[in-house]
Structure 1
């Protein structure tokens, strides 16, 4: 078993030291309110004592934390008072992520996170190991995981072959009561040893050494290995053997500086909104004073307590514009730092990627865990002819989108489409649009929303000095184009091996789902859909649903068409499962680039 890097003792000591210091202070305050002798003077003794005890606990935690690689599992033991031992089978490991912040990169350290299929959190985390040790662990665990999967595949394949052989033998065996032929049938060698050979020399004779290649031999130059009489010696020899360093990586895609800048300026990160709100709530006074100062040249109030309704209106508009600009700048910076140096490669049957400027990430996307592939593009990206490629995996994903991971953040649309076709084998889809009745439904829906907006402004006019509430009626002008854009960006395609679903205007998502990855297909109808004879089909896979990535849905199609798609999808799902079981196919081709798509052969 191995221990973490010695600097981990320092970090754990400081972490628990400050934690226990704060707990000691809180405990002193609580007890001081109950017992009169306990006062603020006790902080002088309890605070250092809590810090020292916390440091001692952190150091003890470091010495009690151990990890190791065994032939079948990755083992982790931790805990000071309550011990926890985990044996993680390689077949359950989905990803081995490496993460390096500024501190870790400065001292040559890394955080290793091990994710398992179906888990919502990290199964095991090593804080910290050296960068060399992190790369070694990542390579060895990937190699052992690939070996386990390959052995399982071969075992399943042999079982299927044996089953087919038994069925074929049963079909060739004559029925009871049939007249046997004059030529006797060969006896099954499993029932009568040696009966499958007419050569008497094939049977072992007394005094003649067994010619089996596994038998020991004392003859000079004999290469036959002796049988292992001690299983412990076998395990020791296996542990002493050279460790595999993982499959060789092959570069598939590099995010060029131009593409990185385009991706940063044409995408938006919701985390930027959270950052702006955080700054606003924790620095309210200085932020408001700054906004008032910025709005003064445009007619804003001289002070927050002195002004007219017009000046306050100008302050509101200017502050909103400043908030949008600041949020956009933060989004650009966040995207640039997150995807700086993005590289996608191939290692065995997995996609491997690296990215990050301030905090560097290195992880993998298991090909057999890929549930669906989604092409994304917002209006700006579609205008310049670019798109992105995301994959949905089963279980946990290292990014904050559940199982969603970026395979290609941004590239030319033609290149992305070739990637998708080579990755999934899907044919060029011919989308079917919903009936025109759906567009009328969206027109009514957005009209209701516009009416609510006008009612809100009317209510504000009754409570404040705002009198031009009727100007809000202009929102009705956006209703027809909004309904049309909603309608024209919807579509679906029922292919031979894949179901393709397109939806969304602000972020158009075109999702390719292999039939064998479909878990369920649900038909949903609201009250309004039932009146119009429409229905929506929700296609669920094993990937995670989040607030950002919702379940692929075919919206507002005729009820009969929905039933046809439902029935066709169920039939082709069964056919795809049988074909996949017969061919033993993973379903995803990891070498999804071609020389023409990247301007030349991928570098080795």
Structure 2
């Protein structure tokens, strides 16, 4: 068994030391309230004892932690009192992620996380190993994972060949002396025999057929051979800046709220000072309705600006020096300024491809490309990972078409009655907003509530923009669904990745004769976001798409079983 880097002993010692420090302190507090001999003056003695015990446990944890790369599994053992030994088969490993903070990069250390398919948590984490050891583990596990997949494919082909041979052996043949000259000739349908004897397709067991000139060296032919890395996409400095300034991270809102919670008084004083030149109050205690209104407007503007700048900084630091490549049949990526990430996206786990853009990005003709995977990734957005953060619109759509093999979609829009539905819906929302303003005017000194009715002017364009950005396309091998205005998503779903297709109708949709079609895949993204949906189309169209999707799903699975096709080209440039 290999051990972690010696600095891990110091890290674990400090970590458990500060955790255990509070155990005797808590006991002293509890016992002091029950027994008179126990006094709160024991804190200076109890706290160091707890820290030393925790530090000792952390060092023991380091010495009891070990890992090893064997021929069939990646083994990890841990635990001081309760031991835990994990043998992770290479066939189940989905990603080997390397993470480096600024501190770790200065010391040449890294954290290695091993993810398995379908897992909700990291299967094993190595804190810390040297940077060279992290790269060695990542490369070695990737190589052995590819070997395990190759052996699985070979066994599958052998089983299929044996099944075909048995079918041929069992086929009726003419026996000498028993030929019936009056019998009708029997014509054997080869495809029927193949379908009857074929091993059922396994979406996880696929093989990529690529031209011999572009094929990687055969994995497993030489144990020392590692697949070379081919670069597919680099995020240029101009694209990184555009992406930072034209996207927004919700985490920035949480950061602003956290800062406000820590320094509420200082921030309020800053708001008052900033609002005074524009007619704000001299302080929070004195002022009239107008000055407080100016203070609110100035505070809101400053808060929005700070939140936006934090979002820009976060995006820039996260996607700095973004690189996408391929090793064998996996996408590999690197990114990060303060914290560096290196991970992989298995092509056989990709469920769908999504092109995203917002109004600003559409205005400058840029878009991003995301892939949805079936499993969990430590740095993924619930199964969604960026393959191309931002690039020119035409380039991104070319990537998507080459990656999936989908033909250029010709979108069909919902019927015009759907636009009327959105008009009514947004009108009700505007009416509710005006009603709230009226209630505030009735219970407070707020006047001019009727000016809020200006929100009705936004109803028609909002309904129109939602309508024109909806569309769907039923292709031969893919279903393409588009929707959204502020963050428009165009999702390409291969039929063989569809898990369920369901038609849903609300009370209002039944009255209008329309329906929504929900297309679900195995992507874990559906746990955090709504599934991909074709909204508000004619009921008959929804039923037709439903039937077509189910039929082409079965056809796609049969074709993939016959060809052992991964269905996705990792060489998509």
TM-score, normalised to structure 2's length?
Answer: 0.91
Residue in 2 that maps onto 1:199: none
Q: In terms of Rg, which structure is larger?
A: 1
Residue in 2 that maps onto 1:415: 395
Give the 5 Å matches for 1:563-582. 563-582=543-562
In structure 1, distance between residues paired with 2:225 and 2:109? 19
In structure 2, distance between residues paired with 1:116 and 1:537? 31
- How many aligned positions are there? 534
Residue in 2 that maps onto 1:258: 238
Taking only aligned residues, the RMSD between alpha carbons, in angstroms, comes to 1.6
Residue in 2 that maps onto 1:281: 261
In structure 1, distance between residues paired with 2:342 and 2:448? 55
SS at match of 1:159: helix
In structure 2, distance between residues paired with 1:26 and 1:295? 46
SS at match of 1:429: coil
Residue in 1 that maps onto 2:493: 513
SS at match of 2:391: strand
Note if contact 1:392-1:403 (Cα within 8 Å) is conserved in structure 2. Answer: yes
In structure 1, distance between residues paired with 2:435 and 2:148? 63
In structure 2, distance between residues paired with 1:253 and 1:158? 38
Question: Once the 2 structures are TM-superposed, how far is the Cα of residue 157 of structure 1 from its aligned partner?
Answer: 1.6
Residue in 1 that maps onto 2:365: 385
- The match for 1:364 among 336, 344, 359 is 344
Give the 5 Å matches for 1:90-489. 90-171=90-171, 173-174=173-174, 178-179=178-179, 244=224, 246-489=226-469
Question: Once the 2 structures are TM-superposed, how far is the Cα of residue 168 of structure 1 from its aligned partner?
Answer: 2.6
In structure 2, distance between residues paired with 1:502 and 1:280? 38
In structure 2, distance between residues paired with 1:55 and 1:125? 20
1:561 matches 2:541: yes
In structure 2, distance between residues paired with 1:584 and 1:547? 30
Note if contact 1:141-1:246 (Cα within 8 Å) is conserved in structure 2. Answer: no
- The match for 1:588 among 565, 568, 573 is 568
Question: Once the 2 structures are TM-superposed, how far is the Cα of residue 546 of structure 1 from its aligned partner?
Answer: 5.3
In structure 2, distance between residues paired with 1:243 and 1:307? 78
Residue in 2 that maps onto 1:11: 11
SS at match of 1:375: strand
Question: Once the 2 structures are TM-superposed, how far is the Cα of residue 397 of structure 1 from its aligned partner?
Answer: 2.1
Question: Once the 2 structures are TM-superposed, how far is the Cα of residue 175 of structure 1 from its aligned partner?
Answer: 7.2
| CA distance 1:30–1:400, shift in 2 (3 Å) | farther
Deviations for 1:142-200, whole angstroms, at most 9, x for unmatched residues?
0000111111112112211221222233225347993499xxxxxxxxxxxxxxxxxxx
| CA distance 1:534–1:242, shift in 2 (3 Å) | closer
Worse overlay, 524-533 or 51-60? 524-533
In structure 2, distance between residues paired with 1:345 and 1:517? 23
Question: Once the 2 structures are TM-superposed, how far is the Cα of residue 309 of structure 1 from its aligned partner?
Answer: 0.9
Note if contact 1:139-1:244 (Cα within 8 Å) is conserved in structure 2. Answer: no
In structure 2, distance between residues paired with 1:284 and 1:174? 93
- The match for 2:524 among 544, 554, 576 is 544
In structure 2, distance between residues paired with 1:571 and 1:510? 23
In structure 1, distance between residues paired with 2:176 and 2:382? 59
Question: Once the 2 structures are TM-superposed, how far is the Cα of residue 275 of structure 1 from its aligned partner?
Answer: 0.3
In structure 2, distance between residues paired with 1:262 and 1:447? 35
| CA distance 1:514–1:175, shift in 2 (3 Å) | farther
Residue in 1 that maps onto 2:22: 22
Note if contact 1:96-1:138 (Cα within 8 Å) is conserved in structure 2. Answer: yes
Deviations for 1:529-551, whole angstroms, at most 9, x for unmatched residues?
11111111110000013576431
Deviations for 1:42-79, whole angstroms, at most 9, x for unmatched residues?
11111000000000000000000000001110000000
Question: Once the 2 structures are TM-superposed, how far is the Cα of residue 317 of structure 1 from its aligned partner?
Answer: 1.1
In structure 2, distance between residues paired with 1:371 and 1:445? 33
In structure 1, distance between residues paired with 2:341 and 2:433? 44
Worse overlay, 61-70 or 156-165? 156-165
Deviations for 1:493-541, whole angstroms, at most 9, x for unmatched residues?
0000000000000011000000000000011111111111111111000
